[in-house]
Amino acid sequence: MLDDEGLFTFCHEMGHYLGLFHAFEEPQKGEEYLGCVNPDNASDDECFDTPKYDRMSYLLLVDMLLNGLH
């Protein structure tokens, strides 16, 4: 059985398994994930269909999710 943090990590890693980037990560030259590569946006997940990454909002969301699980 996974604890709360283990479940959060499992979900996070499943995203990588499915080919998702970190929102702050950019692909290596010529690399493509799920057909989404946008060289003009180095600070997001390289997909046109999602908004730019905001690190502070993300950290607040993670904190809220982790604290809400207890």
pTM score of the predicted model: 0.40
**What tokens does 52 get?**
């730019």
Of 30, 34, 29, 66, residue with least CA distance to 50: 34
Of 28, 52, 31, residue with least CA distance to 41: 52
Question: Tens of pLDDT along 25-50?
Answer: 655 555 555 555 555 544 555 566 66
Average pLDDT over every residue of 3-22:
81
Cα 58 to Cα 18: distance, rounded to the nearest angstrom: 20
Q: Mean pLDDT over all residues of the chain?
A: 67
Tell me the one-letter amino acid at 52. Answer: K
Average pLDDT over every residue of 11-31:
70
pLDDT (0 to 100) of residue 11? 86
